[in-house]
Amino acid sequence: MNADLEHLITLQAQDLEIRRLRQQLGEGPLQVKVAEEKRAQDEAALQAAEKGLAREEALRRSQELEVKERQGKAARLRKQMETATSAAQISALEHEIGFCEQSIARLEDEELASLERTEGFERARGQATLALEVDTATLAAIRVRVADLTARNAAAIACIEAERSATRALLAGSPGGEAHLSAYDRIAKSKGTGLSEAIDHKCSACQMMVRPQRWNDLTDRDPHSEHAQTIFTCETCGRMLYYDPRRDAPVRWAAGERLSAASNP
């Protein structure tokens, strides 16, 4: 395999890992924000429930006062009945007493309705209190996890960037390496990756077939053959193709192992 291609494989692995770590870094603050919003919703729900409870209590206090007032008035009217003389007077008093009793019945119904609303607000307060407790703990845990991940990823990125600079320096120092490096950078910039592994007669990045002659040249393992040092590109997507002969070996590779083995023969 072309030595530049081997360095490019390493470089791509480093670039992809840095990209993955950076993406994870960006997700951390978002996770914190989502957890903060959830907790703020619990707080708002708790506040709304407490406000509702206070409102209903105040309402019932005024209803009770009004009931007492009407009861007092009805008692006074009954007293007046004892001394009433004319039928018209009695009828007017009866009418007023009836009106007082109706008002009292209506106020008592309203009080019952208020008690029912209070039960609802108490349930909501209980749920919101519990949710607030859980989501406060979750937020704290997410903050710790994100801070930890941020520190670890920042350190890992710094480390891989140093290795990446070394890989790029190796490429820049090899004859023809500058051209390969700039081709890699150009394709990676537009396609996301500059290299693609050819697997089973296909470019694994764009899934298009590699022509049989090119496949033969690509997979030719003779180090003295005409194409041993050629870097082929995919005719469809333009990525530089590499072939890993270990694909044919009767060995099972763990994720990432094949690539590191290919780049450090």
Residues that bind Zn ion (CB under 5 A): 203, 205-206, 234, 236-237
Longest C-alpha distance within the chain, in Å? 135
What's the rounded Cα separation, in Å, for the pair 51 and 162? 58
| CA 116 to chain CA mean position, Å | 38
Least distance in angstroms from the C-beta of 205 to Zn ion: 5
Least distance in angstroms from the C-beta of 188 to Zn ion: 13
Compare residues 63 and 219 and give the one whose CB is closer to Zn ion. 219
Helix (H) / strand (E) element for 197: namely strand 195-199
Least distance in angstroms from the C-beta of 234 to Zn ion: 3
CB 239 within 8 A of CB 196: yes
Compare residues 46 and 234 and give the one whose CB is closer to Zn ion. 234
Q: What Å distances lie between residue 110 and 67, 73, 74, 77, CA to CA?
A: 11, 20, 20, 24
Compare residues 125 and 214 and give the one whose CB is closer to Zn ion. 214
- Residues contacting 84, CB < 8 A, separation 6+: 90, 93
Compare residues 229 and 236 and give the one whose CB is closer to Zn ion. 236
Least distance in angstroms from the C-beta of 237 to Zn ion: 3
Compare residues 48 and 206 and give the one whose CB is closer to Zn ion. 206
Least distance in angstroms from the C-beta of 247 to Zn ion: 17
Structure-token pair, residue 243: 């072939």
Compare residues 67 and 234 and give the one whose CB is closer to Zn ion. 234
Q: Quick one: which of 77, 74, 61, 65 has its CA closest to 102?
A: 74
Least distance in angstroms from the C-beta of 204 to Zn ion: 8
HEC string of 204-218 equals CCCCCECCHHHHHHH
Least distance in angstroms from the C-beta of 209 to Zn ion: 10
Q: Other CB atoms closer than 10 Å to residue 214's CB: what's the count?
A: 19
Compare residues 48 and 183 and give the one whose CB is closer to Zn ion. 183
- Residues contacting 94, CB < 8 A, separation 6+: 81
Pairing of strands 195-199, 240-242: parallel
